[in-house]
Structure 1
Amino acid sequence: MSISQITQEAISEQQVSRWTKHDTSWMLSLFGTAVGAGILFLPINIGIGGFWSLIIMAVLAGPMTFLAHRGLARFVLSSSRRDADFTDVVEEHFGKSAGRMISMLYFLSIFPILLIYGVGLTNTVDSFVVNQMGWESPNRVLLSGVLVFGMISIMMAGEKVMLRSFELIVYPLAAILAGLSLYLIPNWQMPHMAMDVDLGQFTHTLWLAIPVTVFAFSHAAAISSFTHAQRRQYGDQAQPKSEQILKRTSVMLISFVLFFVFSCVLSLTPEQLTEAKMQNVSVLSYLANVNDSPFIVALGPIIAFIAITSSFLGHFLGARESLNGMMQKQLSWSAGTIDKVGIVFMFLAIWGASIMNPSILGMMEALSGPVIAMILFLMPMIAVFKVESLKRYRGNASTYFIMLMGALAVTGLLFSMI
């Protein structure tokens, strides 16, 4: 090896190890994508299974989150084309027909979540205006139009504006989650740790808790755009740099979200968690009712608004890229025209859903769940055994761990829908 090659490798290693503002911005963007409104239901959905299932899921959450998203990032970066997005990669590795079907499923798994967030954002702001500010309910058509247009405008302003917006959103979100978790500590109760549990019931509860945990920490919608940005920024060092950022994102997610989950669960009895599940209310709404706390009542809509906004931006990133990729395969229009048409379509669809406020959106979210699990967990691991550039990962224990967790997540979701 020549001196110039050794010097180049040393510079590359130093570039990867050095943490930059660019890396922090993307870490916050991925964190914001993962922490959506679902976090307000996560303590109930996981805690209802009892203390031991909570402990097991807490142990599994970190490896599941990091390894699954690392696998998807490796898959996107395995393309022979430097500018390839998710649509290009699946077509390259699985053929045109299968690739286009996977791309369509990927888009259809993200897009309903955008519709849900459009409705959720409108309802949250409307509720805040009426209940907290004491004003009359604003015109829903105008309110939803302004909110959706505002969110999409951030995405159209470019990557720098988007990353800056995530910084402004995520820091308060993390601070509020940590502050609320600390606020609840005086209400902590000794958990019920009986060892004489029904093994069958315990296994069943744990199985159904896996998909809940998967989607509480999922930032799969932004991974393709994220890896593309790292390849543009770091070139051949995109993979190690992506993995470094993903690792820190996972640590941040696990730290803040699990602390929030444990604090909420330890503040409620198993009976109260069951009651909250039956009432189908968020954990903050239930805590505010049982504690008669105006502080929690005020924080509820603020957390919901920030969480929905940050997750909306991340999911819009994935849906926009996916839709553009599919349209480019079918139409001979310019990239700029395709992007504009796609944005107009998504704006009108999200705005329309926000105005109509349909209850069927919950079902749409459940239907998109299995597809996200397959794309995040199963497809990248299948590619390990199919794609030559990924063959070095075939013997890794992490490959089989993610395949197992993915199978459990998909079957758990499908079972819960029956």
Structure 2
Amino acid sequence: MHGTSASHQIPFTRYDAGWVILCIGMAIGAGIVFLPVQVGITGLWVFAASVLLAYPALYMMQELYLKTLAESDECDDYASIITQYLGKNWGFVLGVAYSLMLLKGMLTYSLAVTFDSAKYLQTFGITDSLLSNNALYSLAVLSFLVLIAAQGERLLFKISGPLVIFKLGVVVLLGAVMIPYWDIKNNIPAFPDVKQFAIDTILTVPFTLFSILFVQILSPMNIAFRRAEPESRIATYRAIRANRIAFLILAISVLFFAVSFTFALSHEQALSAKAQNISALALAASVIPANAVLFMTTALNIFAIVTAFLGIYLGFEEGLAGMAMNLMTRFTPKEKISRRMVTFGVAVFIVVALWLWVRIQFSILLLQQIASPIYGIISFIIPCLLVYKVAALHKYKSLKLFYVFAFGVLLCMSPVLKALGY
């Protein structure tokens, strides 16, 4: 099925394009808008090293992740897939871990959409004070986003599609518009001390990874293709094809954007953005005297965070609903459980939990680093362990597996270094 002749017989439909767009929308979120801040702090050499480590590992991991999901007989949610491989107890434990991975994204985007939107309203003179300090404002924003996301993938295609295409265009255009503001002489630092270089690279790897990561939407995409396509091998091929196209588009666009922004923003401006808990785009909109840049950064930031939030909701809701079903089916027959009520209950829980989280005002950059082990374990390490533990997955054993596993371990080191004061 994965041969050349077979692939030519499988058309690339609007449905496939819709998932490519959602994957891109998932990736262009907090990862890209906060990447220039981290790169501005650590330097271009560190960023280059982190890209060489992260991008190949990410490509191999996401393809392996899809293949391990696709081998299951039934395909309702992540927890049910793991249950088929390892039993109900492991299914629940890894379902919790999977939801924690998605939770990190939800926490990041809920903070970003609240604080950045409030910052823009103040920047444009619409409000005198920051509305992010108002509890009702954050509750209204989060409730509105969850209401849209809970309607399902078809509505997300219609809403996210134009926004994602627009913001991808803005990513490329903004990279070009920033060229006149480049100060290469002052913004490319000398090569750092080797020890500091290694430490900074490990700390920057999570940001580089999250700049084009969309593993959170791979399970919902796999499930959707399995439901839409009666032949599971064709469904797997379509999911992997969508993953590859999205990855290639993102790698080229994001690298250009990040490098251009790095040349334009100084180390001091990056430190200022970190202190204010805002993205590089929000900072650029307030420091660069150009209306075009102001409007583009505003649109990109808001669209990026909103569409990423909408995209990750599919996976997060699926993960929580899967855990709820796992627990409930231990006491009640599956056919007696209302899936609709479970979905509604999960939506209400998500709104309340995110609202309480936003009130804490946790640092987004710190969250990116301390949460990286969750992605390291769930996205990189567990698929590798599944390949070795489950007989049906043994065919995916290769040298790539060791690199993916090693990168997962590397991701787990970031918060350790942060705890040690680096």
Q: For residues 102 and 70 of structure 1, what CA distance do their matches in structure 2 show?
A: 19
- The answer (yes or no) to whether the contact 2:30–2:108 under 8 Å persists in 1 is no
Between 1:311-320 and 1:91-100, the stretch displaced more is 91-100
Partner of 2:345: 341
Give the SS at the match of 1:41.
helix
Q: 1:39 to 1:208 in 2, by over 3 A?
A: same
* Partner residue, 2:381: 378
List alignment gaps of at least 5 residues for structure 1. Answer: 1-5
- Cα separation, 1, equivalents of 2:416 and 2:4: 49
Of the three residues 45, 68, 77, the one matched with 1:85 is 77
**2:413: which partner in 1?**
411
Does the alignment pair 1:310 with 2:314? no
User: How much does 1:174 deviate?
Assistant: 0.9
Matched, 1:104 2:101: no
Q: In the alignment, is residue 214 of structure 1 matched against residue 206 of structure 2?
A: no
Q: CA deviation at 1:77?
A: 1.1
Letter in 1 for 2:352: L
Aligned: 1:198 with 2:193: yes
1:251 aligns with 2:245: no
Matched with 2:395 is: 392
Deviations 1:280-319 (A, max 9, x none): 5532344456544444344443322111111111221111
Question: Does the CA-based 8 Å contact 1:76-1:85 persist in structure 2?
Answer: no
Distance in 2 between residues matched to 1:364 and 1:193, nearest whole Å: 27
Asked whether the 8 Å contact 1:65–1:214 carries over to 2, the reply is yes
Which of 301, 318, 321 is the matching residue for 1:321? Answer: 318
Which one is further off, 168-177 or 208-217? 208-217
CA separation in 2, counterparts of 1:43 and 1:353?
A: 25
Counterpart of 1:42 in structure 2 is 35
CA contact (8 A) 1:48 1:273 kept: yes
1:263 corresponds to which of 260, 281, 290: 260
TM-score under structure 2 length normalisation: 0.86
Paired residues of 1:116 and 1:361 also in contact (CA < 8 A): no
Structure 2 counterpart SS, 1:74: helix
Question: Residue 129 of structure 1 is aligned with which of 102, 109, 121?
Answer: 121
Task: State the 1:58 CA deviation.
Answer: 3.3
More moved, 250-259 vs 362-371? 362-371
Corresponding pairs, count: 406
Contact conserved, 2:34 with 2:207, CA < 8 A, in 1?
no
Structure 1 length as normaliser, TM-score? Answer: 0.86
C-alpha RMSD of the superposition = 2.9
In the alignment, is the contact (CA less than 8 A) between 1:67 and 1:398 conserved in 2? yes
Deviates more, 1:136-145 or 1:99-108: 136-145
Aligned to 2:138: 144
Please name the residue that 2:61 is paired with. 68
Tell me the secondary structure at the aligned position of residue 157 of structure 1. Answer: coil
Matched-pair identity in %: 24
CA contact (8 A) 2:146 2:351 kept: yes
Residue identity in the other structure for 1:132: F
Deviation at 1:227, TM superposition (A): 0.6
Aligned partner letter, 1:337: M
